[in-house]
A and B are shown apart, each in its own frame.
Chain A
């Protein structure tokens, strides 16, 4: 990661559920997270959000709420890129909604 250039985080939703998500970053030495994007399945698909430049050691975090029919497959994809080139392989987030039709996914990415 080049700390002088912004990052682009792309979120793609591939499955038939309502999805709302939020993206945060945290710089080294910070305790709180700063939200830089909030989107949902009605946002352009895929949606790309710009963040940074961020110093080395920064962390990105995502959290998505998913709601659809019970026991249905869901699939989201996150790509972190810089200067048009992905910094790592796409992050595939997949699973099955529970008996109520809900699921949530969250995690961290170190660019």
Chain B
């Protein structure tokens, strides 16, 4: 940016509340199939055995007409369907392959097609966590203490009241220890690397044999710590929906440094998408303050591309929901 343009940029700074989505980095979704369909299902079934999976799949098809049912949402760990596969905690902590297998999630969803209420859109997705040093279950120190607390919660007599009390004790102890491990012991910003992909089909008249390819999408996210109080996050998304405006490559980066109550951040987002007039990156920098549990006030300034492809300054005032157990947003939720 030249000095003249910089001056013009400052002079032209707009006072507007920038929508968070405009600068939001493209996090790897927990359930890529739901994200691909832009669906937020109210109820997600999580079958943990092959029998439960078969029942869910059968429920997804009408027994009378053989048509796909709309509104199916499933999230599952494929290893759990194979009786011969066992991943006890000791192996989860020792074997990288078993760690990755345990953290591989499949998702499947169906929704009513936007333009044709008789048609059904179906997507399947897979999410893989390759590395996550902010996973407390991979730390033997954490799990040794958790195990000790669980044993202390066990009831002497298996009465309904005693078991309910034990369940409450388990929840309380787990929450407290996890919060302590992530926050006080400084693990919230540890390194992580995850990737996901999803693909979709449209079934005309919801008939199983009438599938049309709808495209695919992929995401990758990596994070590394910046000292004890900071984190840098890089995120990439590629969309190849059939003809959608946001098709193409999008990336986001975010660096932050601070405490559990306040942090300074810089974000950059850009890409090369079909529906955009400019491939120029947009950026935002500022401060975030914790307003309440899981709610942050974000303020700062940055640049946005206008419809004509020019950069304009913006002032950011925003509320953000925290998705993770540390002073960072949108990453590493466990």
* Residues in A lying within 8 Å of B, measured CB to CB: 12-22, 24, 32-33, 35, 38, 40-42, 45, 61, 63, 65-75, 92, 94-96, 100-102, 104, 106
- Report the interface size class on chain B: 35 or more
B102 touches A100 (CB 8 A): no
In the complex, what residues of B have CB within 8 A of residue A92's CB? 49
In the complex, what residues of B have CB within 8 A of residue A73's CB? 46, 48, 76-77, 79-80
The 8 Å CB contact of A40, one of B77, B80, B150, is B150
The 8 Å CB contact of B150, one of A61, A67, A95, A106, is A67
A65 touches B166 (CB 8 A): yes
B88 touches A100 (CB 8 A): no
- In the complex, 29 of the A-B residue pairs with CB atoms within 8 angstroms, ordered by the A residue number, are A15-B86, A16-B87, A16-B88, A17-B137, A18-B146, A20-B150, A20-B153, A24-B157, A33-B157, A35-B156, A38-B154, A40-B150, A41-B89, A41-B90, A42-B147, A45-B88, A63-B158, A65-B170, A69-B135, A71-B46, A72-B102, A74-B48, A94-B48, A100-B174, A100-B175, A104-B163, A104-B167, A104-B170, A106-B163
Q: Is B143 an interface residue (CB 8 A)?
A: yes
Residue on B nearest A12 in the bound complex, by CB: B86
The 8 Å CB contact of B87, one of A15, A19, A20, A63, is A15
In the complex, what residues of A have CB within 8 A of residue B89's CB? 13, 16-18, 41, 68
Residue on A nearest B86 in the bound complex, by CB: A14
A67 touches B174 (CB 8 A): yes
The 8 Å CB contact of A71, one of B75, B137, B178, is B75
Q: Is B12 an interface residue (CB 8 A)?
A: no
Q: Is B92 an interface residue (CB 8 A)?
A: yes
B88 touches A40 (CB 8 A): no
CA distance A82 to B299 in the complex (A): 68
The 8 Å CB contact of B171, one of A21, A33, A102, is A102
Q: Is B41 an interface residue (CB 8 A)?
A: no
Between A and B, how many residue pairs show CB distances below 8 Å? 121
A38 touches B87 (CB 8 A): no
A104 touches B166 (CB 8 A): yes
Residue on B nearest A41 in the bound complex, by CB: B89
In the complex, what residues of A have CB within 8 A of residue B171's CB? 100, 102
B147 touches A20 (CB 8 A): yes
A22 touches B174 (CB 8 A): no
In the complex, what residues of B have CB within 8 A of residue A69's CB? 135-137, 334
Residue on A nearest B91 in the bound complex, by CB: A16
CA distance A18 to B89 in the complex (A): 7
CA distance A42 to B175 in the complex (A): 21
The 8 Å CB contact of B80, one of A20, A75, A106, is A75
Q: What is the distance, in angstroms, from B230's C-beta to the closest C-beta of chain A? A: 24
The 8 Å CB contact of A18, one of B77, B135, B147, is B147
A14 touches B88 (CB 8 A): yes
CA distance A68 to B137 in the complex (A): 6
In the complex, what residues of A have CB within 8 A of residue B49's CB? 75, 92, 94
A96 touches B147 (CB 8 A): no
A45-B90, A75-B48 are known; give 17 further A-B pairs, CB within 8 A: A14-B87, A14-B88, A17-B137, A18-B137, A19-B150, A20-B154, A38-B151, A63-B154, A63-B158, A69-B136, A72-B102, A95-B48, A100-B171, A100-B174, A101-B174, A101-B178, A104-B166
Q: Known interface pairs A13-B88, A20-B154, A24-B158. Does A67 touch B170 (Cβ–Cβ under 8 Å)?
A: yes
Q: Known interface pairs A22-B154, A69-B135, A69-B334. Does A16 touch B102 (Cβ–Cβ under 8 Å)?
A: yes
